[in-house]
Structure 1
């Protein structure tokens, strides 16, 4: 009998990625706490930028865009995991599961694209400080951001397009939420072909975005070398926030996406830990980094608490 004949109609999936967790309530509370703190921090960041006209500049528009991406990224899977761990509800309907997968993949792609365009912004600020606001206006920044979202949606749609036509033979997801590998493993098809296809797409996006960021910083280092000491300090402070954010995002992504394709075997718990860290860590760290290291936002927060 062929696999096609054993396919079943799936109306909902069972999330089995946390079956081996010994203290699900404690893990759920930790995830919920990190999610809520990160969500509120990003919302506060957005509100500061939106309501202060002095912050209506290209750099802050990009920070605001990153905050929106962070909210999407962390909100795509965190509520489902919290519901599974704390409430014990380990099922999710078919369509919401596909929407969750799309949102998660869109958030992951947009995180890379957002960090890349922010590296370009820092390069312009360092290399052309006197013409920066001529080259990168608010209107151009908004158009560029809009284009990035279109590109991100198209890339995330590839995951859906390869998955939807496939028949399903299983309804249990091995992983912690509705991500692409978990859903592919529920189909009746050979997963390796689809894993390899998507791995190529992920590698291309990772390679080009990370390479672009690295090249931008090589150029920044060149301009820093020929600058005065005071300018070097200012440039270093300007770029450090972005470097911290880039490191926090790309490290777990490289471990999970690149090393595993090179034959490094990760246990289910290790893989779930890397994935959860990759979309809970940056949304928590990013707003804190930009609030603490961006003097305009830091001043606004200080003024808010010392106003009276």
Structure 2
């Protein structure tokens, strides 16, 4: 029986997510594979960026931050889902629920702001190519990344102050698979405003950036220029689409689709963006592929020299 929850720290939440969906064992296998690819792929992406000096550029500082954020978010969320499935533990303590909620809010906000920083990089690359190295520097990118983390932390800390002073709304049963401010505090306007501002505002900034890029593209007369500019933006646009489109569609059409569909889509928004980030930058960015090939070539040359050394 669902009861109103008026206390805060002495309650455990019951996660009802996935319980009504058939053949969920296959979906959990998919989540495990997605997490493995995400962790391994982003770790390799960060390793290549650190190792190859050719990638020590302002743009790849932001890409490194995006990979770090993806690892942190997927590690904070997906293992908990797998634990609930493997051990049948659907009870979530107050402390774990708050930690889950705050970490998700923090890393989603940082990713949203990081994608905005990348859109700024694309904007300057296409609209102001002659001034790119003056505007987009290591210092400017580090400042923007630091500002992204600061804004996300301020939002999360503000949310924590309000949330720990609120009573839980309606029920201690969580309809979706994880704690979030919508399932635990569905009537808290302050939490919704904080979360929407740090998600919606970056969307408008990205749209404005690509509006300026589109205007510049219309002024380019050569096919080679159009093709080069399109390739420059393709990887970033795919990352933006993978991150924002499923969430937006869920909230727009949530009245028309079933709760199980919403649960699947929301869980995919947690698993797919971290998994696609390294794949996109590995196969769609020539400079990164060139760095990977150089590292592999050096590794092969190093391995071929080892037997010669031992023979001597």
TM-score range, shorter chain: 0.7 to 0.9
Distance in 2 (CA, whole Å) between partners of 1:225 and 1:21 is 48
Preserved CA contact (<8 Å) 1:123 1:219? yes
Q: CA RMSD in A?
A: 2.3
The answer for the alignment partner of 1:188 in structure 2 is: none
Give the TM-score of the pair, scaled to structure 1: 0.87
The equivalent of 1:138 in structure 2 is 138
Q: Which moved more, 1:200-209 or 1:129-138?
A: 200-209
1:225 and 1:5 mapped to 2: Cα distance? Answer: 57
Matched, 1:119 2:119: yes
Q: What is the alpha-carbon distance in structure 2 between the residues aligned to residue 90 and residue 280 of structure 1?
A: 20
Say which of 279, 286, 294 aligns to 2:285: 294
Q: Is the 8 A contact 1:25 1:86 kept in 2?
A: no
Q: Which runs of 5+ in 1 are unaligned?
A: 185-190
Do residues 217 (structure 1) and 218 (structure 2) align?
Answer: no
1:199 alignment counterpart: 192
Alpha carbons of 1:55 and 1:20: their partners in 2 closer, same or farther (altered >3 Å)?
Answer: same
Secondary structure of 1:130's counterpart equals helix
Q: Deviations over 1:229-263 (max 9, x none)?
A: 32221111111111111111111121234454xxx
Which runs of no fewer than 5 residues in structure 2 stay unpaired?
301-312
| Cα distance change of structure 1 residues 178 and 59 upon mapping to structure 2, 3 Å threshold | same
Shift of 1:160: 2.3
Tell me how far 1:268 sits from its aligned partner: 2.5
Q: Which residue of 1 aligns with 2:232?
A: 238
Paired residue secondary structure (1:131): helix
- 3-state SS in 1 of match to 2:130: coil
**TM-score computed with the length of structure 2 as normaliser:** 0.86
Residues in 1 aligned to 2:240 and 2:79: alpha-carbon distance in whole angstroms = 25
Taking the aligned partners of 1:9 and 1:144, their CA distance within structure 2 comes to: 37
